């Protein structure tokens, strides 16, 4: 079983469109949407939820007012100002550090599990998918990403699948690290802009830190030929495989609006190029 992640150093480069296309092309796979802060793979694949679970990410302080002496020690020591004058805890501000519980002389503070999101196992027209939704203003997205990946890998092993196709989050932060570590291949989707090259460089360096083989795809390359050429030069100078270049097509936008993958729209040049990209990845991983 091989795990492939599709990532980008910045948002909006087209990685989810690419992931959905690979979901169409790959046989015997499990899908995972690890962009838990702003998941959108489900928009293209219209999953039917089979399992739904709560995600407990960290702890939340709770003050029992029937025991509390209102001495103010918890408010004095809380550096996040999460406890108001009525000695109620602001859930959006509390970091769950537990210091208020430590300093309370009456043991009026308890730490409870914080429900910060949900995760799902669903069926799609292209197989099983594990995905999640992080709550508004909640943290610990890296932990939720790890949970999604763990479940996707477990499903793939149980069903003897050949591939785990992962739609990763943008950037280089904790969720990306949780998505990237331990995969077999990172497909990096960039766009022909200066910020696209800069952020692709950062995520490529991150992938190399974890020893992950990378390949680059330039999406909408024909919107800025000169910048696309600079990205090609960057790949050549750094020993990175340029897997392909996808031209801009308005029909791709229409496919997304219609909740379809580009592979389901007849006559798209993008579909032909992505098929060639997938063949290159398979040769890289299976030879």
Give the domain CATH number at 110: 3.30.70.20
Kind plus residue range of the DSSP H or E element containing 22: helix 15-25
Sheet containing 127-134: order of strands: 48-63, 109-124, 127-134, 29-33, 163-170, 2-8, 185-190, 213-219, 241-246
Band of residue 10 on the pLDDT scale cut at 50, 70, 90: confident
Helices of type H across 126-249? 141-158, 174-180, 194-209, 225-237
Same domain, 175 and 244: yes
The residue-averaged pLDDT of 8-15 equals 88
Domain stop point among 89, 115, 141: 115
Domain stop point among 96, 115, 134: 115
Same domain, 41 and 66: no
pLDDT of residue 121: 96
Any bridge partners for residue 219, and if so which? 246
Same domain, 111 and 130: no
The residue-averaged pLDDT of 156-168 equals 95
Q: Are 7 and 34 in contact (CB under 8 A)?
A: no
Is 52 inside a domain boundary? no
Q: Which two tokens stand for residue 162?
A: 């050949």
Same domain, 140 and 65: no
Taking the C-alpha atoms of residue 208 and residue 236, their distance in angstroms, rounded to an integer, is 16
Q: Are 144 and 119 in contact (CB under 8 A)?
A: yes
Same domain, 107 and 208: no
Tell the residue number behind the tokens 């990096």, with chain if given. 188
Same domain, 83 and 166: no
Same domain, 76 and 209: no
Is 51 inside a domain boundary? no
pLDDT of residue 45: 93
pLDDT of residue 140: 67
pTM value is 0.87
Of 106, 109, 117, nearest in space to 88 by CA: 109
Same domain, 156 and 238: yes
Q: Which of 10-19, 105-114, 137-146 has the lowest mean pLDDT?
A: 137-146
pLDDT of residue 56: 86
Count: domains in the chain:
2
The residue-averaged pLDDT of 90-100 equals 90
- For the cut 80, the answer to whether the pLDDT of residue 136 exceeds it is no
Is 195 inside a domain boundary? yes
Domain containing 15: what range?
2-46+125-286
Is 120 inside a domain boundary? no
List the CATH number of the domain containing 181: 3.40.50.300
Q: Which two tokens stand for residue 205?
A: 């360096």
């Amino acid at each position: 079983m091989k795990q492939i992640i599709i990532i980008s150093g910045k948002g909006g480069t087209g990685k989810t469109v690419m992931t959905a296309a690979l979901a169409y092309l790959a046989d015997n796979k499990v899908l995972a949407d690890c962009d838990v802060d702003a998941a959108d793979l489900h928009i293209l694949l219209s999953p039917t939820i089979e399992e739904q679970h709560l995600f407990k990410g960290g702890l939340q302080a709770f003050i029992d007012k029937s025991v509390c002496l209102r001495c103010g020690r918890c408010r004095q020591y809380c550096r996040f100002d999460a406890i108001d004058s009525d000695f109620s805890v602001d859930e959006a501000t509390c970091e769950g550090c537990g210091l208020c519980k430590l300093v309370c002389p009456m043991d009026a503070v308890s730490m409870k599990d914080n429900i910060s999101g949900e995760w799902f196992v669903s069926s799609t027209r292209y197989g099983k998918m594990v995905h999640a939704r992080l709550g508004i203003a909640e943290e610990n997205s890296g932990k939720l990403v790890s949970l999604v990946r763990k479940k996707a890998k477990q499903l793939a092993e149980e069903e003897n699948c050949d591939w785990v196709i992962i739609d990763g989050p943008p950037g280089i932060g904790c969720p990306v690290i949780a998505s990237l570590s331990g995969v077999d291949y990172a497909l990096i989707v960039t766009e022909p802009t200066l910020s696209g090259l800069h952020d692709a460089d950062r995520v490529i360096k991150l992938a190399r830190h974890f020893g992950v083989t990378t390949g680059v795809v330039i999406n909408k390359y024909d919107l800025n030929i000169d910048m696309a050429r600079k990205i090609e030069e960057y790949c050549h100078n750094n020993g990175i495989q340029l897997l392909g270049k996808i031209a801009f097509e308005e029909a791709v936008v229409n496919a997304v609006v219609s909740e379809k993958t580009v592979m389901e729209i007849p006559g798209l040049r993008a579909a032909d190029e992505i098929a060639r990209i997938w063949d290159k990845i398979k040769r890289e991983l299976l030879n």
